[in-house]
């Protein structure tokens, strides 16, 4: 018996090796199993993963590891041991890894590595058990309290809580019943409840939020229609992709929950992806409220021990619903019937490290391998997904109304050029309409969200005398001024420096802070509305553990009047008391050198507008912009997705941009610009010669971000309607060139940004 193995010595090898399987291990060496094998000239024990069992296979590359009969050379080396009781990777997931390696031009070991969380790969077992509580099977004194006395109100509250929730953590039980843990332990000592240690409970950060069982609301007709179509797709037990296009607040999440409920009732499992970790607690809360402990959470911000336990609870079948960010698409769910990709348009679904996969597309391919349904949901679908739906590749489901036919928010566009003229010039943070609207909300006791997708206080430090701009020494980027720490910070490499006392160029001390960031918005707002309770939510304020959950929890409970934030507050959040949304600068992303700039601006404006008016009070959105008549801004004002799509798709067609063609980007990087430029030109010539008949190519040229962390970057773009052939040719030509050791070459298939 022969096992084909990839070894864990890096992610650039991209080779498989054949090993002989001894008879003693024949029953345990399976596809997906991790094994210890001798590797290299010194036969060093190395861990690897079995990716195939090619009966009678020939060698896969190692000259020292040839199959019997494969010519001269040594006999096959032997598998030494098997690391785990059962394989960690299911055969269908291994098929998915092979597809990823081929399609995304990635080494096979990188694709396989992506399937397992770091904690699982490293066999981390530092997991603390937690105390769990449930009602006792047979109470010691039926109908009586402790020692035969009647139950105290607090003890009764504990039992009532457990009757509703079933098994719960000790902390959850005490918090939910409004008692101390001592009350619960007293009940346990006298046999009324069972107290036991368990592993695999929800992470502490998520278990800390008490979730009472939630009764499903009555569905609107459009929700019922959508649910019926989703369940029909699930029953087919074959790949079927549905695009659920519903306006913000239309009840898409309830459709997902009802479909998952039906699947669980039949013994199946499901995966639900969300684009941001910030959305995970709110989504988990709804799922736990409906499905309890059968929900597991997977994302990179979990402690390793928690992630290890959550992953194994899925693998062992204790949890049948996996929820998390993009890597949750690889969750080892048993009998997978449905994959939901919520907010499917979000760029955060694109992995920026090898393998550079798009989780939305990987979800579709996993649906093919698992023969299950895939639902892509969004109020502003990506042009690629909507194009596929328009052309019959996906089934389109429209949900054009909000739940209970609540009004969509009214959007007002404020021309900041006019505002500047009124003030006699200068850049103002707030327009007069926005100030008046915020003060009105404060008087009514309603909440406001202010959105600006730029953190810090000012986007640059400029000398008005000589034009000097404080730039990062390692990146081709102006440094951002952060007033809270009085430092200049590069938002690409996190380099920091103090603010100079005088201009390094001319010695002038009259520096000017140019541009607006969230810190400046927060500071200006505090002066305009001094009594308002203001909190800022961006990467700077959410570095601490549980910061996301704490800020959003306080906002939901009404402890915050105005929430100022970046794009992490723009999507998926549901706060009924928010009646005003202010967009400080709608132009932030509009003029980026990226063909997706208009699409992203439209999506962001529409999504952030959707946070308003989700309760009984109609919402209002005020958008401040210097380009009020841009089509992306006007289409967002009308909430006209179809109109925006029709115009944007024509622009894409004329220039052969996605979705009319697939685009791959090749990035060349290195410490010496001359060497990077020279190799990029040589590679460009070879690629133009090989691909000119099957692809349109642009470059090579310096990337818009030409230097990052003292690494120089050149890039070229290739576009073709035959993506597989193009990417295969890219990979082959670049492999034949054998780039110098000092030059790194990256192929970004289906590139989501050209920065």
Collapse the DSSP code of 268 into the 3-class scheme (helix H, G, I; strand E, B; otherwise coil) and give the result: coil
What is the average per-residue pLDDT within 165-189? 80
What is the average per-residue pLDDT within 734-749? 88
d(CA 473, CA 632): 35
Q: Could you say which DSSP state residue 350 is in?
A: B
What is the average per-residue pLDDT within 170-185? 80
Q: Place 567 in a pLDDT band, splitting at 50, 70 and 90.
A: confident
Give the right CATH number for 662-749 from 3.40.50.300, 3.30.1330.10, 3.10.20.90, 3.30.70.600. Answer: 3.30.70.600
Q: What pLDDT is stored for residue 323 in this prediction? A: 93
> β-strand 711-720 against 696-708: which pairing, if any?
antiparallel
H helix or E strand, kind and range, residue 135: strand 130-135
What is the average per-residue pLDDT within 347-353? 91
Out of 8-17, 121-130, 132-141, 477-486, pick the least confident. 121-130
DSSP code string of 623-680: EEES-TT-HHHHHHHHT-HHHHHHHHHHHHHHHT-TTSSEEEEEEEEES-HHHHHHHH
Q: Place 545 in a pLDDT band, splitting at 50, 70 and 90.
A: low
d(CA 663, CA 641): 24
What is the average per-residue pLDDT within 184-193? 88
**Bigger pLDDT: 713 or 546?**
713
Q: Place 279 in a pLDDT band, splitting at 50, 70 and 90.
A: low
For residue 187, which of 224, 222, 212, 160 has the smallest C-alpha distance? 160
Reduced 3-state DSSP string for 175-223: HHHCCCHHHHHHHHHCCCEEEEEECCCCCHHHHCCCCCCCCCCCCCHHH
H helix or E strand, kind and range, residue 243: strand 240-246
Q: Place 198 in a pLDDT band, splitting at 50, 70 and 90.
A: low
Please determine, for residue 665, whether its predicted confidence score (pLDDT) is greater than 90.
Answer: yes
Give the right CATH number for 2-121 from 3.40.50.1100, 3.40.1440.60, 3.20.20.70, 3.50.50.60. Answer: 3.40.1440.60
Please determine, for residue 740, whether its predicted confidence score (pLDDT) is greater than 80.
Answer: yes
Residue-wise pLDDT tens digits, 596-621? 889 999 998 888 888 887 777 888 99
Q: What pLDDT is stored for residue 11 in this prediction? A: 56
Domain extent listing, the chain: 2-121, 130-198, 221-403, 410-457+516-650, 459-514, 662-749
Q: Place 128 in a pLDDT band, splitting at 50, 70 and 90.
A: very low
CB atoms within 10 A of CB 151: 16
Q: What pLDDT is stored for residue 60 in this prediction? A: 39
Q: Is CATH 1.10.10 what the domain over 130-198 is classified as, yes or no?
A: yes
Percent of the chain with pLDDT strictly greater than 70: 90
- Give me the helix-helix angle, 170-177 and 153-165, nearest 10°: 120
DSSP code string of 671-720: S-HHHHHHHHHHHHHHHHHHHTTT-EEEEEEEEEEEEETTEEEEEEEEEE
H helix or E strand, kind and range, residue 411: strand 410-415
Q: What would the two tokens of residue 48 be?
A: 């690897």
What is the average per-residue pLDDT within 186-212? 66
54-68, 223-237, 456-470, 578-592: range with highest mean pLDDT: 223-237
Q: Place 705 in a pLDDT band, splitting at 50, 70 and 90.
A: confident
136-150, 361-375, 537-551: range with highest mean pLDDT: 361-375
Percent of the chain with pLDDT strictly greater than 90: 41
CATH classification (class only), 410-457+516-650: alpha beta
* CATH no., domain 221-403: 3.40.50.300
What is the average per-residue pLDDT within 468-496? 85
Q: What pLDDT is stored for residue 205 in this prediction? A: 46
Peptide bond into 700 cis (omega under 30): yes
Q: What pLDDT is stored for residue 278 in this prediction? A: 62
**Bigger pLDDT: 229 or 708?**
229
d(CA 536, CA 459): 17
**Bigger pLDDT: 94 or 427?**
94
Q: What pLDDT is stored for residue 13 in this prediction? A: 75
Q: What pLDDT is stored for residue 139 in this prediction? A: 52
Measured torsion, CA atoms of residues 399, 273, 326, 651, in degrees rounded to the nearest 10: 0
d(CA 684, CA 595): 22
Counting every residue written for the chain, the total comes to: 755
Please determine, for residue 269, whether its predicted confidence score (pLDDT) is greater than 90.
Answer: yes
Indicate if 662-749 has the same CATH topology as 410-457+516-650.
no
Q: What pLDDT is stored for residue 413 in this prediction? A: 93
Q: Place 381 in a pLDDT band, splitting at 50, 70 and 90.
A: very high
Please determine, for residue 501, whether its predicted confidence score (pLDDT) is greater than 90.
Answer: no
DSSP code string of 143-156: T--GGGSPPPHHHH
d(CA 607, CA 276): 14
List Cα–Cα distances, 150 to 153, 482, 701, in angstroms. 9, 61, 81
Please determine, for residue 69, whether its predicted confidence score (pLDDT) is greater than 70.
Answer: no
Residue-wise pLDDT tens digits, 636-662? 999 999 999 999 999 999 988 999 999
């Amino acid at each position: 018996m022969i096992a084909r193995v990839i070894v864990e010595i890096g992610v650039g090898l991209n080779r498989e090796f054949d090993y002989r399987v001894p008879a003693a291990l024949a029953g345990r060496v399976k596809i997906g199993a991790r094994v210890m094998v001798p590797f290299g000239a010194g036969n060093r024990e190395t861990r690897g993963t079995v990716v195939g069992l090619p009966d009678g296979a020939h060698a896969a590359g190692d000259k020292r590891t040839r199959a019997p009969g494969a010519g001269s050379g040594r006999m096959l080396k032997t598998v030494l041991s098997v690391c785990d009781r059962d394989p960690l990777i299911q055969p269908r997931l291994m098929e998915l890894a092979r597809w990823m390696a081929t399609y995304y031009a990635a080494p096979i070991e990188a694709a396989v590595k992506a399937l397992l969380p770091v904690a699982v790969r490293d066999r981390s077992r530092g997991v603390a058990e937690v105390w769990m509580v449930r009602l006792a099977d047979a109470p010691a004194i039926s109908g009586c309290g402790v020692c035969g006395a009647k139950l105290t109100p607090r003890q009764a509250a504990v039992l009532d809580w457990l009757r509703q929730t079933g098994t719960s953590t000790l902390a959850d039980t005490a918090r939910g019943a409004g008692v101390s843990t001592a009350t619960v332990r007293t009940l346990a000592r006298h046999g009324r409840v069972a107290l036991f240690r368990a592993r695999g409970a929800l992470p502490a950060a998520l278990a800390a939020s008490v979730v009472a069982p939630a009764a499903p609301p009555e569905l609107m007709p459009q929700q019922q229609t959508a649910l019926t179509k989703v369940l029909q797709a699930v029953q087919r037990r074959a790949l079927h992709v549905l695009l659920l296009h519903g306006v913000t607040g239309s009840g898409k999440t309830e459709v997902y929950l009802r479909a998952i409920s039906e699947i669980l009732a039949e013994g199946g499992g499901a995966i639900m992806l969300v684009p941001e970790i910030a959305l995970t607690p709110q989504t988990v809360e709804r799922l736990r409220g409906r499905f309890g402990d059968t929900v597991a959470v997977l994302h990179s911000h979990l402690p390793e021990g928690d992630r290890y336990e959550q992953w194994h609870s899925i693998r062992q079948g204790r949890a049948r619903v996996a929820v998390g960010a993009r890597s949750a698409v690889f969750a080892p769910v048993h009998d997978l019937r449905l994959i939901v990709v919520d907010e499917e348009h979000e760029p955060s679904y694109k992995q920026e490290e090898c393998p550079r996969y798009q989780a939305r597309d990987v979800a579709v391919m996993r649906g093919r391998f698992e023969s299950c349904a895939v639902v892509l949901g969004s109020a502003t679908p990506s042009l690629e997904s909507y194009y596929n739906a328009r052309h019959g590749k996906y089934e389109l489901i429209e949900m054009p109304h909000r739940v209970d036919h609540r009004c969509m928010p009214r959007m007002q566009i404020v021309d900041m050029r006019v505002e500047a003229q009124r003030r006699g010039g200068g850049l103002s943070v707030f327009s007069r309409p926005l100030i008046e609207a915020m003060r009105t909300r404060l008087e009514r006791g309603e909440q406001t969200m202010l959105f600006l997708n730029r953190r810090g206080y000012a986007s640059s430090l400029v000398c008005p005398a000589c034009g000097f701009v404080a730039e990062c020494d390692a990146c081709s980027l102006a440094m951002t001024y952060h007033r809270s720490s009085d430092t200049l910070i590069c938002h690409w490499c996190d380099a920091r420096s103090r603010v100079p006392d005088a201009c390094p160029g001319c010695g002038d001390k009259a520096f000017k802070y140019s541009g607006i960031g969230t810190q400046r918005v927060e500071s200006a707002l505090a002066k305009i509305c001094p009594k308002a309770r203001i909190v800022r939510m961006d990467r700077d304020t959410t570095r601490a553990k549980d910061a996301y959950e704490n800020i959003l929890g306080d906002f939901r409970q009404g402890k915050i009047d105005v929430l100022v934030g970046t794009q992490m507050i723009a999507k998926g959040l549901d706060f009924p008391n928010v009646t005003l949304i202010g967009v400080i600068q709608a132009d932030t992303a509009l003029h980026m050198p990226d063909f997706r700039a208009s699409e992203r601006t439209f999506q962001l404006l529409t999504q952030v507008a959707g946070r308003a008016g989700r309760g009984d009070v109609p919402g209002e959105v005020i958008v401040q912009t210097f380009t009020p008549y841009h089509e992306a801004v006007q289409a967002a004002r009308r909430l006209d997705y179809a109109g925006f799509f029709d115009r944007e798709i024509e622009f894409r067609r004329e220039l052969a941009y996605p979705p009319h063609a697939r685009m791959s980007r090749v990035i060349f990087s290195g410490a010496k610009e001359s060497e990077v430029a020279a190799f990029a030109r040589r590679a460009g010539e070879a690629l133009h010669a090989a691909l000119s008949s099957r692809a349109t190519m642009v470059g090579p040229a310096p990337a818009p971000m030409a230097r990052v962390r003292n690494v120089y970057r050149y890039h070229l773009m290739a576009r073709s309607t035959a993506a597989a052939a193009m990417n295969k040719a890219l990979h082959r030509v670049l492999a034949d060139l054998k780039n110098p050791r000092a030059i790194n070459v990256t192929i970004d298939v289906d590139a989501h940004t050209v920065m």
